[in-house]
Structures are given as C-alpha cells and as structure tokens.
A and B are shown apart, each in its own frame.
Chain A
C-alpha cells in the first residue's frame, strides 16, 4: 500500500515537474519554493550515479540460460550422418598445417582401413600392406602415398595448390587417400 502511495506521489510530482518544464510560469501559480537548480542537478546526479552503480551490480540473467532452456523445450533428436565426427574434426582443424591429436586418431583409422582394403582387394598379408604404406608403393598417387610415407613428398603443384587455396596439406592428402580407397574397395569402379 505504502509502495503504491509513494508511487502515486512520485507520479504526481513528476507530472508537475513535466508541466513546469513545459510552461515555467506554472511554478509561480502553484507557488513552488525557490530551489537553486544546481541543488536539483546535484541530487539528480547523485541518484543517477547510485542507479548506475546499482545497475552494474545487478545480476542479469545469463543469455546461455535462455539457450539451454530453448534446447530443453525442443527435444527433437536429429541423428548425425555417418562420418560427421570426422568432418567436424577437419573443420575445427581447417587452416592449420599441424597435425592435432584428433587428426592422429583419424590417420590411424585411415591407415587401418587402407591396410584392410589392400589385404582384401590384393590378397596381401597385413605386414606386406603395412610395408607398402610405409614405402608409399601402394598407389601411384603421390599425394595419397605421402599421407603414410615419410620419404614421399606431395607433388609441388599440390603444395602450391594447398597454399593458394588455403586448404591444409593434411586434408588434401586425406582426400586423395579416400579417393584411392574408394577405387580399391570397389566403390568407384574398383580393382576387382
């Protein structure tokens, strides 16, 4: 009740102030006491500062709370596409030339699959397939061969192309390996 009363008084005073500001002659009619304007200015300034400090100390709701809340409201589950984890890792590592821990994991998977594909398609023993990978002799594609073999370098044109297009060399080599694998595994014509 007191809150509303004070509010009503405040609103009336604000109304009077507004009216006097628009028509200063009203001050004489309602016989407001003469008050130096600098006192009003100082008081308003102090209250403004107090308001600003109060605002600074206010704990506003975290925007992420709303995002979390929205996620909780819309629970529709959309499963990922197979291989989305690899694409996400490559996106995160885009632009970097260094191999990260995730890249190493992807490299291991790529190596395992390549060995298995060579064993299946060419009847090699796993050790022989590993050796071909290390020596870079498993494919005629030098870019793909360079992915596993330390002694094989990517063709110069590929390195220049990677720099010009800002594609990481690692990703370019991986693309070539996958292209070769598709051929070997029979998903693109095939060797068998």
Chain B
C-alpha cells in the first residue's frame, strides 16, 4: 500500500495569497474575497489524511466451464469494510490472454462504510488457463489531496480445455516403425493395397496365391500387398516470439498452430499412429509419442493448458540452440515431425531444414496470416512464399493453410498437389 500527497492544491494556495495581497493593497473587496475563498478551500483540503481502504472483493463468473468462443460475464463486487471512501477507483486484473468484449473492468465510485459496489463486464473465452489478477485500487480523500494505492487479491481461475479438433486424415511421409498401422510403405507384404506379384514360395498362405495367373499361364505366383505400418510422429508448434503474429482479425498464428497440432494429432491417433507434441519456444513443452485414450487426454490437456502453447506475450528469452538440441534429443530416431509454423522468418525454415537433415522427415503445416494492405505486409507475404518454395524444392512437404479456412481442405489440396 502506498500513500502520498497529490499536491493538487499547492499552486492554489500561492495564487490565493497573491489575490489576498492584491486585495489588501488595492482595497478592492472582490479580490480580497477571492483570496480568502481560495485560502479556505486549501485549508479544507488539509483537513483530511490519506484514506486507508479496507476492502473485500468477490469475483463471480457466469460460466465455470466455458467452451472456446463463449462469452462469460464477470461480476466484481467490492465491499467497504472500513470508513467512508469518497473517491474510489478500481481496475480488475483481467488475464492478459482474455479480451474484454463488453463493458469495462473499471469502476469509479464513492463508497460508504459496509456498502458494496459492483461492476460487470464480458470476456470472450479462448483456450487455456486464465488466472485473474489482483484488483488494483486507488482511493483519494474528498479534496483529492491525498491518495492511497493498493491492490486486493482475489484469486479466480477460468479454464477452457477444448476437445482436439477433428481432422479426417493427415498424410505422413514414408518412414515408419515396425508395427502394423495405416501408413503405406514401399515394401511388399501383408496389407490391403496391391503391390506386386512374386514367385510362389512354400509356406505362402493359399489366400494370397494368384489363382487367375495359375489358370491363365499355369504359373504359381503369390500376390504381395503394400505393407502398412504405423508411424511415430511428433507435432512441433512454433511458439517463438517471431511466430506470435496476427491475421487481419487479430488471431495469433500460435493459436492456429495449436489448432493444427490438435487436428493432426487427432487424425494420427485415430489411425493408430503414435503421436507426441512439443513446443519450440521460450517455454519448453514435451509429450513423447504414444497411443490410446489416456494419451489423447494428456495431449488435449497439454495443448490447452501448458504455458509452452499459450498465446500470452512471450516474456522469456528463447535460447534457440539449446531448445533445438533438447528437441533433437527427445525425438525418437524413427519419428517424423509435423512442424506448425507461420514461417514468417528465416529461422523457422532453418529449423525445418535441420530437422530434415537429421533424419526426421518433416511436414510443415503453415497457417498464412500475412496480409496485403501495406508494403510491409505485402513484402512479408512474398518472403513467406519464397521460403515455402525453397522448402518444397528441398523435398519438404508444406501445407499452406490460409488462416480462417478449413484445415481439412488445405490438407486435401496439398495431398492432391503431392500426388499430381
């Protein structure tokens, strides 16, 4: 708590005394009265001491378990447990990750002893944990000559853990672990898609004998299907300061990155692949590839609540070399990487190249948040387009996802391009 004089009346006293002197010297009653009046007001201001606000604060939310995009009313009630506060100003500690979309979290009022005042405002909920901060309080005496600043703690938390976004399928590159799954490989074996025929060997199952060929040519041959194996993939979300850029609606590219990560993870888990997630940014987050319902729940929780995937302002230095080494160390040898990044700086493309060079096939999902309204925006869009082309030339698959459009459509478009 800090109390101090505002010195609001200091100039008024000097002016009043000058008026008094002038009135006395000229014997003009009006000027003299003016001076006396000023002195009286200044004396009144000195009558007070700094207020000592004794406040209790209660915060309530209209919805304890909101979904992303829901609007939640926040009501802050302040009760004066001390003496009269003639001038009280409060500002609620709205989490930096939430936007106030209606009303104001500020209140200015006079508050008598044992009385309460409330303010209600509306926030739009986004993914993550949102902790409301302390309520900031400024109290002044009636003349405004003394001021006390303090804060009142009122812990309230709002959490929003959305389900993983639904994505029908996600194409991975060829390179797999030795486990049956849905990823087609170039190796012939058991599966459903025709691969080739070879000469019959004793022990081959009768169901795979090419009977038509036997009837036609009299040769005994065995049909081989394209072997399908499960993949191990780690979805890496670019959360570096450079990736915190917004589209024309103000949505953070990191939010799109996390949405893409959720969709990709959901699709891969559905198809029996092992999926992990990581955050490439100032706050390290990691979940090793895994399978199953529990793993899915852990993944959901991590993407929604871990600081590593937050859209809050990056307030810590990113030690790129260190974090990248840590990522390399954690990545299983056979893991593919799906890198979700807006690709608005050269470093992002460099990380992709380095991952690819270290034997991890990379697929980039890049939300395009660039604009074309200003010269800077146009240039940034061109830089990104050139980066994407360079990555594709180097053999990296890039899904260019126009922010705001459907990710599934972007994936389907990209797949068509790869198979063309």
Using CB atoms and an 8 Å cutoff, list the residues of chain A in contact with chain B.
Answer: 3-4, 7, 10-11, 14-15, 17-18, 21-22, 24, 37-38, 40-45, 47-49, 51-52, 54-55, 58, 60-61, 73-88, 90, 109-110, 113, 116-117, 120, 171, 174-175, 178, 181-182, 185-187
Contact A7 B46 (CB under 8 A): yes
**B297 close to A (CB within 8 Å):** no
Prevailing SS type, chain B contact patch: helix
Task: Give, as a whole number of angstroms, the nearest-CB distance from A171 to chain B.
Answer: 7
Using CB atoms and an 8 Å cutoff, list the residues of chain B in contact with chain A.
Answer: 4, 6-7, 10-11, 13-18, 20-25, 27, 29, 32-33, 35-37, 39-40, 43-44, 46-47, 91, 93-99, 136, 244-248, 250, 252-253, 311-313, 342, 344, 369-371, 374-386, 389-390, 393
Which of B11, B15, B21, B99 has the largest number of chain A CB atoms within 10 A?
A: B21
Interface residue from B17, B43, B244 paired with A44 (Cβ < 8 Å): B17
Residue of B nearest to A57 (CB): B10
Q: How far is the CA of A174 from the CA of B376 in the complex (A)?
A: 10
Contacts of B383 in A (CB 8 A): 109, 113
Prevailing SS type, chain A contact patch: helix
Q: Which 5 A-B pairs have the closest CB atoms?
A: A83-B376, A51-B14, A83-B380, A48-B17, A86-B376
Contact A44 B20 (CB under 8 A): yes
Which of B6, B378, B386 has the largest number of chain A CB atoms within 10 A?
A: B386
Contact B371 A51 (CB under 8 A): no
Task: Give, as a whole number of angstroms, the nearest-CB distance from B104 to chain A.
Answer: 11
Residue of B nearest to A86 (CB): B376
Residue of B nearest to A10 (CB): B43
Contacts of B376 in A (CB 8 A): 81-88, 90
Q: How far is the CA of A52 from the CA of B97 in the complex (A)?
A: 48
Contact B380 A86 (CB under 8 A): yes
Contact B94 A41 (CB under 8 A): no
Residue of A nearest to B40 (CB): A14
Contact B371 A55 (CB under 8 A): no
Interface residue from B27, B47, B94 paired with A76 (Cβ < 8 Å): B94
Q: How far is the CA of A68 from the CA of B7 in the complex (A)?
A: 21
Q: How far is the CA of A52 from the CA of B11 in the complex (A)?
A: 7
Task: Give, as a whole number of angstroms, the nearest-CB distance from A112 to chain B.
Answer: 9
Contact B36 A18 (CB under 8 A): yes
Instruction: Known A14-B36, A37-B24; judge A187-B14 contact (CB<8 A).
Output: no
Task: Give, as a whole number of angstroms, the nearest-CB distance from B110 to chain A.
Answer: 21
Contacts of B14 in A (CB 8 A): 48-49, 51-52, 54-55
Contacts of A110 in B (CB 8 A): 379
Contacts of A76 in B (CB 8 A): 94, 96-99
Task: Give, as a whole number of angstroms, the nearest-CB distance from B99 to chain A.
Answer: 6
Residue of B nearest to A184 (CB): B382
Instruction: Known A83-B374, A90-B376; judge A11-B24 contact (CB<8 A).
Output: no
Task: Give, as a whole number of angstroms, the nearest-CB distance from A181 to chain B.
Answer: 5
Q: How far is the CA of A28 from the CA of B382 in the complex (A)?
A: 92
Contact A48 B18 (CB under 8 A): yes
Task: Give, as a whole number of angstroms, the nearest-CB distance from B368 to chain A.
Answer: 9
Contact B10 A42 (CB under 8 A): no
Residue of A nearest to B384 (CB): A82
Contact A58 B20 (CB under 8 A): no
Residue of A nearest to B310 (CB): A77
Contact A87 B10 (CB under 8 A): no
Contact B32 A21 (CB under 8 A): yes
Contact A81 B246 (CB under 8 A): yes
Interface residue from A55, A58, A77, A175 paired with B311 (Cβ < 8 Å): A77
Contact A73 B91 (CB under 8 A): yes
Q: How far is the CA of A96 from the CA of B33 in the complex (A)?
A: 58
Q: How far is the CA of A101 from the CA of B371 in the complex (A)?
A: 25
